[in-house]
């Protein structure tokens, strides 16, 4: 069974599953994000046509990769799931990617010890988030984007590893700067986390094939998920073919980092990245470049199912 925002479902009901999408993303900071400067209706009116479009293309499940502090909003996710018919999986965890120095990590989490953070995240899995009864399906983290892992980030990673060891939830960890990956892996080794409980989110960010192969062979999951924002898909087919050659396709995951209803400072307009792009553009492009549709579909069904359950 896997937790969705509408309750647990059988792993056989996951179907085509995109591993990394967003609905609301609030980058104004953790404390402000809790104030919610929008209504559920506003968000749903904006994103629903895009969700329905993906559903019509065969997508059945969206892994919503926005933790508390970055805009996780269960009322929105429940409404989107009910109205679109998509399964939506939410997360526990914390986001400290880019160069935000803790901005998106709630103050109380920043002040807690590793043990206390582990307890908070484990409780969300065991008892539900707040009084909603909704349970997370995975742990989302973001760290290491400056080539180092800061003390706050190390604390979050250790807490995530301990939470994963207690609950079985997978860790999806955004690491854009590939030189940070070995630092993160050392920490999870120290916490005795099995390699196959760790997803390298944005493994395709720099497409550092040396690291991708080295750490793929250790057993970590490799997520190609910059597809939603990519100007073109040139870098993907050679990388996918290489993984195929090296027998690592079974550890590949796909997502788009698509969405979102953005909450940010300033009035620059950030366009919505449509959730159906994967089906409308990415699959046809890969097929044209000699990758079988069957391979892509096995990644978004079989691999997604294995990593989540
Ligand atoms: Zn993301």
Query: What's the CA-to-centroid distance between 21 and ligand 1, angstroms?
Result: 6
Contact yes or no for 258/21 (Cβ under 8 A): yes
Q: How confident is the model at residue 213, as a pLDDT?
A: 98
Q: How confident is the model at residue 268, as a pLDDT?
A: 86
Query: What's the CA-to-centroid distance between 257 and ligand 1, angstroms?
Result: 5
Q: How confident is the model at residue 215, as a pLDDT?
A: 98
d(Cα 252, Cα 198) in Å, to the nearest integer? 12
Residues 6+ apart with CB under 8 A from 4: 61, 81, 87, 88, 89, 90, 137
CA-based nearest residue to 67, from 43, 88, 96: 96
CB atoms within 10 A of CB 32: 16
Maximum Cα–Cα distance for the chain, whole Å? Answer: 51
Encoded tokens for 139:
């742990």
Condensed to tens digits (0 to 9), the pLDDT of residues 251-285 reads 999 999 999 999 999 888 899 999 999 999 999 99
Contact yes or no for 198/253 (Cβ under 8 A): no
Query: What's the CA-to-centroid distance between 202 and ligand 1, angstroms?
Result: 8
Contact yes or no for 145/115 (Cβ under 8 A): no
∠70-64-55 over CA atoms, to 5°? 140
CB atoms within 10 A of CB 123: 13
∠174-177-181 over CA atoms, to 5°? 70
- Identify the structural domains of the chain with CATH numbers, from first to last: 2-308 (3.20.20.140)
Q: Could you tell me where the DSSP H helices lie in the chain?
A: 30-33, 40-56, 74-84, 107-111, 114-127, 151-167, 181-190, 209-218, 236-245, 277, 283-288, 293-298, 304-308
CA dihedral 253, 168, 176, 180 (to 10 degrees): -130
Spans of the chain below 50 pLDDT? none
Ramachandran region, residue 148 (left: φ > 0; alpha: ψ -120 to 50; beta: rest):
beta
Whole-angstrom CA distances from 262 to 37, 43, 48, 61, 265 are 11, 10, 15, 21, 10
Query: What's the CA-to-centroid distance between 66 and ligand 1, angstroms?
Result: 7
Query: What's the CA-to-centroid distance between 20 and ligand 1, angstroms?
Result: 6
Query: What's the CA-to-centroid distance between 148 and ligand 1, angstroms?
Result: 20
Q: In what order do the strands lie in the sheet with 138-142?
A: 91-95, 138-142, 170-174, 198-201, 221-224, 252-254
Encoded tokens for 114:
């590793």
Q: How confident is the model at residue 99, as a pLDDT?
A: 86
Q: How confident is the model at residue 23, as a pLDDT?
A: 98
CA-based nearest residue to 204, from 175, 164, 173, 246: 175
Query: What's the CA-to-centroid distance between 228 and ligand 1, angstroms?
Result: 10
Question: What single DSSP character describes residue 42?
Answer: H
β-pair type (252-254, 261-263): unpaired
Contact yes or no for 168/121 (Cβ under 8 A): no
Query: What's the CA-to-centroid distance between 1 and ligand 1, angstroms?
Result: 24
Query: What's the CA-to-centroid distance between 180 and ligand 1, angstroms?
Result: 18
Contact yes or no for 89/63 (Cβ under 8 A): yes
């Amino acid at each position: 069974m896997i937790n969705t925002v509408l309750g647990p479902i059988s792993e056989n009901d996951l179907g085509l599953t995109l591993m990394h999408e967003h609905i609301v993303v609030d980058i104004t900071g953790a404390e402000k994000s809790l104030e919610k400067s929008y209504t559920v209706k506003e968000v749903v009116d904006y994103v629903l046509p895009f969700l329905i479009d993906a559903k019509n293309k065969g997508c059945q499940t969206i892994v919503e990769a926005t933790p508390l502090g970055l805009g996780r909003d269960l009322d929105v996710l429940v409404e989107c799931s009910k109205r679109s018919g998509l399964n939506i999986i939410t997360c526990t965890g914390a986001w400290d990617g880019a160069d935000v120095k803790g901005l998106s990590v709630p103050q109380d989490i920043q002040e807690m010890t590793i043990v206390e953070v582990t307890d908070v995240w484990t409780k969300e899995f065991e008892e539900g988030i707040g009084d909603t009864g909704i349970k997370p399906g995975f742990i989302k983290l973001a760290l290491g984007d400056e080539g180092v892992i800061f003390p706050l980030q190390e604390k979050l990673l250790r807490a995530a590893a301990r939470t994963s060891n207690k609950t079985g939830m997978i860790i999806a960890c955004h690491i854009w700067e590939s030189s940070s990956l070995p630092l993160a892996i050392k920490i999870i080794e120290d916490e005795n986390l099995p390699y196959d409980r760790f997803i390298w989110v944005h493994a395709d960010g720099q497409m550092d094939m040396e690291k991708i192969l080295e750490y793929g062979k250790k057993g970590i999951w490799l997520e190609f998920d910059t597809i939603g924002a990519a100007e073109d898909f040139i870098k993907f087919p050679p990388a996918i073919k290489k993984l195929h050659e090296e027998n690592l396709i079974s550890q590949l995951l796909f997502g788009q980092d698509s969405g979102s209803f953005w909450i940010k400072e300033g009035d620059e307009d950030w366009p919505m990245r449509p959730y159906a792009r994967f089906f409308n553009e990415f699959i046809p492009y890969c097929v044209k470049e000699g990758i079988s549709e069957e391979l892509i579909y096995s990644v978004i069904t079989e691999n997604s199912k294995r990593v989540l359950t």
